[in-house]
Amino acid sequence: MRTFIQFTSRNMAKSSNYYLAFELKGNLFAANFPRIYGFTREYTYLSLTNFSENVPGIALVHTEYIPVLDLWKKIGYSEKTYTGTEKLMILEAEVYDTKLRFAIPYDQLGDAFELSAKKMMPAPSVGSIFEKGYIKGMYMHQEDVIYIINFEKLIDIDDLIDIKIAPNRLVAR
């Protein structure tokens, strides 16, 4: 069984209209397929001490150190969700002209769907998650609301610095 799944489809990589829903704490979010690098359940978790609360540690996947971004904490919830045993979605994003790879925990995967800009509903303007631009828009799928994440806005300059220097701050758990 493969422990790490990586997308290689040229069609998926080229289309910015394909999304994958995932669940975190009972809420549905979606990531854009060109941003998704892969998924893993098997990794070694290395915690970071006295570091950013949004980047609790590093996942060692095969031979690559991938910083973990606690999405739940980042979007404004007080409790942390990351314990080092969750499934991880590994993403690539270009932030401030820097291409970086990071992981976010998720509870379970949902449906893949195609979504044009015309069908995306605008995000509300009330609430810190929306005011900061973390959510690009919303999509109604059957009876569920799926929040489309704007990964370029999700990572600010402090997170970028934390993600870039995190592998140098490793402390084995």
Q: Which residue has the higher pLDDT, 151 or 110?
A: 110
Q: Who wins on pLDDT, 172 or 122? A: 122
Does 4 or 31 have the greater pLDDT score? Answer: 31
Contacts of 43 (CB under 8 A, 6+ apart): 59, 60, 61, 66, 88
The larger pLDDT score, comparing residue 167 to residue 27, is at: 27
Give the tens place of pLDDT for each residue, 113-159: 888 878 888 877 766 666 677 888 899 888 888 999 887 777 777 77
d(CA 40, CA 101): 14
53 or 39: which carries more pLDDT confidence? 39
Q: Which residue has the higher pLDDT, 169 or 84?
A: 84
Which residues are CB-neighbours of 54 under 8 A, at least 6 positions away? 69, 70, 73, 74, 159, 162
- Side-chain half-sphere exposure of 112, counting CA atoms within 13 A: 9
CA separation for the pair 57, 160 (Å, rounded)? 14
What are the pLDDT digits (tens) for 72-106?
Answer: 888 777 766 667 778 999 988 877 787 888 899 99
Q: Which amino acid would we find at residue 124?
A: P
Residues of the chain with pLDDT > 70, as a percent, come to: 80
**Beta carbons within 8 Å of 58's beta carbon, 6+ residues apart:** 45, 46, 48, 65, 66, 67, 68, 166, 167, 170
